[in-house]
Amino acid sequence: MIKDVIIRKAQKFDDARGWLCEVFRNDEFKYQPIYSYVSVTKPGVVRGPHEHKEQSDYFIFVGPGSFKIYLWDNRKDSPTFRTHEIIEAGENNPMSILVPPGVVHGYKCISTEPAYSINLPDKLYRGEGGKEEVDEIRWEADPNSPFKI
């Protein structure tokens, strides 16, 4: 397990109307999301891997569709430095994953239908008013990257 990564199983509550799944409670751990987005990934498509210098990502994978999530601890001062984890999440295994700065992450849609993810990061994309540099190290753009999906 990578230090500071929080993986939380999510439970879906079904009834005749559909389902409900609680995905975030600030009484379970201290985290302050600042914005959110929904992403749809087509079957077989990979997003990442990349990492953030300052931003944490709080991903929610509850479906439809499923992902294989890849994590690498790239923090030299971490006791789990260079630890690599692969997790399956989504429709049949709903969960949320908090990814702290310095943990390289990416995911691949492994379902036959498009898969949905939600992210609640703790920093605004491109900062206030969209005027700052993007806080990303895009490992997928480096052909010599040690992080491969």
Q: Is residue 82, in this structure, part of any structural domain at all?
A: yes
Q: What is the pLDDT of residues 86-144, one digit of tens each?
A: 999 999 999 999 999 999 999 999 999 999 999 999 999 888 888 999 999 999 989 99
Q: Is residue 68, in this structure, part of any structural domain at all?
A: yes
Question: Residue 39 belongs to what domain range?
Answer: 6-13+34-125+133-140
Q: Is residue 58, in this structure, part of any structural domain at all?
A: yes
> Does residue 2 come out as left (phi exceeding 0), alpha (psi in the -120 to 50 range) or beta?
beta
Q: Is residue 40, in this structure, part of any structural domain at all?
A: yes
81/77 Cα distance (integer angstroms) = 7
75/40 Cα distance (integer angstroms) = 29
149/145 Cα distance (integer angstroms) = 10
- Considering its fold, how many domains does the chain have in total? 1
- CATH of residue 53: 2.60.120.10
* pTM (predicted TM-score): 0.94
